[in-house]
Amino acid sequence: MRDCTKFYIDGQWVDPARADTREVENPATEKAIGHISFGSAADVDKAVAAARRAFEDWQFSSRETRLELLRAILAEIGKRREDLASAISDEMGAPMSLANGPHVGLLAGHCQTAIEVLESFEFERQDGPTLHLYEPIGVVGMITPWNWPLNQIACKVFPALATGCTMILKPSEIAPFNAVIFAEIMDAAGVPAGVFNLVNGDGPGVGEAISGHPDIDMVSFTGSTRAGVAIAANAAPTVKRVAQELGGKSPNIVLDDSVFAQSVARGTTAMMGNSGQTCTAPSRMLVPHQRMEEAKAAAREAAEKVVPGDPKGNATIGPVVSKAQWDKIQGLIEQGIADGATLVAGGPGKPEGLETGHYVRPTVFADVTNDMTIAREEIFGPVLTILGYEDYDDAVRIANDTEYGLASHITGEDVETAKKLARRIRAGRVAINGGYDMNAAFGGYKKSGNGREWGRFGFHDFLEIKAVMGVGS
């Protein structure tokens, strides 16, 4: 059992202001694997005071000081890789290959990227008679989710640290243990007291206290659009900056070409990764109407190769993170059937032989229309919807017919056509044939949020711009 009932505030592990411990469940076994404390506004006040004091010095720290610290953190990540992966697998149900691969790999990757960006980042620039200074915004409140927990911690903490900000992190109460280990890494690396603080808890107890706190200069949030709206409203009276990475319902336009079947299979497999719990997942596959039957066959074959099971074994995917998440997914699968979509693979209920654990059958719907609930709502599970299009103009129209705009995908052999279509899609990211880059800007259009994370773009979210005029050219 993991008992992580203390918070990391001002460089020390401290008791919460009040005793309120909660269990954390392993979604594969449905059994408790440990406890955390749920914080309160009093804990947030203490963490903010520490961060505010630390900011007085950290904002003026040198580039080399920050680089040395990030390099020390990267070294400590390497020492704790197995511990991090074990925590991710236990609290999320991620297969160990996924936990020890992409999950921990993204943490290290963002740290390395922050180092590379910081080495040459321009914090001041002479523009004619004006000197523009890029200065840290101040104390940042960070609220992160459970689905890619280390990634979402990393792409906030490292740019904030590199730009001279101090911070308070509230990780998800569903998957908190990886964040506790992360705090231990920060401590071991020598992060100055108060620069990084960790307070566990839920939205009403800690999240609201962070988003409305008058001494927090910025809130960086990743999570649902519903929660993002609430955070923005709570932050409004204090006129703090709010950066948000929210929901998605990403289209995947499959080109009409000779590798069509391979593209469908590839998109199906990609949708199922991390048990479908990825905000950029290619959840709406768009295929030519005349090739719908071919798409069904290729998607069915690919889905049947996705094996749910014990995260400690050789399964392709583990369970979804909670009973609440499982119930939501089941309801949407039932809704898809009721709305008349063709069930190609999977369906309601748990996979055979997996009665214990929040497992979902890898599911594919075809003949879906864009007005169906399963085409509009973010399911956040291993459920793919396949829609038909007449031509590429129609494909773009369907792709853009969503309140979200986080990501989009285009798959096929004609990259030039894909590039033309990418320019017409209203989304923050377009991945052509699975393209991936740690330096690429990450963020959304429309109800998928605002601001940009990752690489040098992530630095700008945490900086204010000061114009000093009359200093010559």
Active site residues: 245, 279
**Residue for token digits 């950290």?**
58
**Selection from 298, 291, 246, 243 nearest residue 269 by Cα:** 298
**Selection from 146, 160, 299, 300 nearest residue 219 by Cα:** 160
**Selection from 206, 196, 252 nearest residue 396 by Cα:** 252
**Selection from 223, 249, 222 nearest residue 453 by Cα:** 222
The residues pairing with 242 across neighbouring beta strands, listed in sequence order, are 219
Whole-Å CA distances, 72 to 84, 155, 192: 17, 17, 13
The 3-state DSSP class for residue 131 equals strand
- What letter does residue 203 receive in the DSSP assignment? I
Whole-Å CA distances, 454 to 48, 186, 200, 304, 326: 25, 20, 24, 34, 30
**Cβ burial 327-361 (10 Å sphere, 16+ → b, else e):** ebbbebbeebeeeebeebbbbeebbeebeebbbbb
How far, in Å, CA of 458 to CA of 122, rounded?
14
Length of the chain: 473
CB 219 within 8 A of CB 236: no
How far, in Å, CA of 317 to CA of 309, rounded?
6
CB 54 within 8 A of CB 195: yes
The 3-state DSSP class for residue 135 equals strand
The residues pairing with 446 across neighbouring beta strands, listed in sequence order, are 404
